[in-house]
Amino acid sequence: MAVTLEQAQRVGCVCLKALLRFAFMVANNLVAIPSYVLYLIMLQPLRVLDSQSFWYIEGVLFKWLLAMVASWGWWAGYTVVEWGDDVNAVSEDEAMVLVNHQATGDVCTLMMCLQDKGTVVRQMMWLMDHIFKYTNFGIVSLIHGDFFIRQGRAHRDQQLVLLKEHLERYYRSRNRKWIVLFPEGGFLRKRRETSQAFAKKNNLPFLKHVTLPRLGATQVILETLVAPQENGTPAGGDAVIRESKSKGLQWVIDATIAYPKGEPLDIQTWILGYRQPTVTHVHYRIFPVKDVPAEPEALTHWLYQRFIEKEDLLTHFYETGAFPPPQGQTKAISREMTLSNLWLVGIQSFAFLSGGMWYCIFQYFYHCLF
């Protein structure tokens, strides 16, 4: 089939836009990540004198870095609509966030939709595959205190021991509040067949849109971070009443990410912006941690139920384009998540000005020494 002039122009525009966006992303990383590292090196005396203030500043810089990643998608027209419980109600409490995993764009989506959730982003800890340690963002996650987990049965027991030690050493000392993990242990397309075979063998439900979660990391987090007594109690609707300020993990947030037509965004699309503007949908449910069983078999059943519910939510979404209303209600309420372009421009400007400042400083010392 012959290509028309109009089609060729359209393809040319998409390629040019993708090239320019890629160049901007590279420049963004070259100024922002070294600046983050250098600022924290300069602030090491503060870390000794007042570690709480040091980690507060680090958290602010970390949030700004994630906002830069969010801006790449936001300016390409990739937005988020939120459903279900209002997680702002528990943004100042400790919570574990369980997320389904379809593609690399899931992480970018969370980086975007959590930006307007108070102090969550600067006080959160991520559990991610160890391969991310070797990406451009790896050094940032290492400094921030995220945990890189190695997948595979051969490493599983050792990784859970290391996770427990990591949580005990860094979670409270750095004033972390939310911890985000993907219990499926991999992308949907990679794990679906194995999960379905396991489900068939063990007489479990057949899942198409999610896979059966793994227990290990969830159990370690609950055992390590939950205080002996928890008394958070969600009220009706989206409201949440906090009966005490007891320390420890208080909530489990079940987050379900859905993409139109089941076509997830990946990091390449997020960066290059060659896909048409897309609305990603995120559904939240909040559970008091006191209602989550501690015994392994009961916890496994509870976790499986959450992902069976995710399957039902996603099935309804793909059939209707919306998530179902909460039980007892007739209409589901959605909320469009927004970011301030002025704020994003301000953060980007700060990054590039910081990069220029550090370049001038290095140039000055280079000329002084040589």
Q: pLDDT tens, position by position, for the chain (370 residues)?
A: 566 777 777 878 889 899 999 999 999 999 999 999 999 999 999 999 999 999 999 999 999 999 999 999 999 999 999 999 999 999 999 999 999 999 999 999 999 999 999 999 999 999 988 888 888 889 999 999 999 988 777 778 899 999 999 999 999 999 999 999 999 988 998 999 999 999 999 999 999 999 999 999 999 999 999 976 544 544 444 444 343 344 799 999 999 999 999 999 999 999 999 999 999 999 999 999 999 999 999 999 999 999 999 999 999 999 999 999 988 788 888 999 999 999 999 999 999 999 999 999 999 988 888 7
Global pTM exceeds 0.85:
yes
pLDDT for position 310 = 97
What confidence score (pLDDT) does residue 3 get? 65
pLDDT at 244: 39
Three-class HEC string of the chain: CCCCHHHHHHHHHHHHHHHHHHHHHHHHHHHHHHHHHHHHHHCHHHHHHCHHHHHHHHHHHHHHHHHHHHHHHHCCCEEEEEEECCHHHHCCCCEEEEECCCCCHHHHHHHHHCCCCCCCHHHEEEEEEHHHHHCCCHHHHHHHCCEEECCCHHHHHHHHHHHHHHHHHHHCCCCCCEEEECCCCCCHHHHHHHHHHHHHHCCCCCCCCCCCCCCHHHHHHHHHHCCCCCCEEECCCCCEEECCCCCCCCEEEEEEEECHHHCCCCHHHHHHCCCCCEEEEEEEEEEEHHHCCCCHHHHHHHHHHHHHHHHHHHHHHHHHCCCCCCCCCCCCCEEEECCCHHHHHHHHHHHHHHHHHHHHHHHHHHHHHC
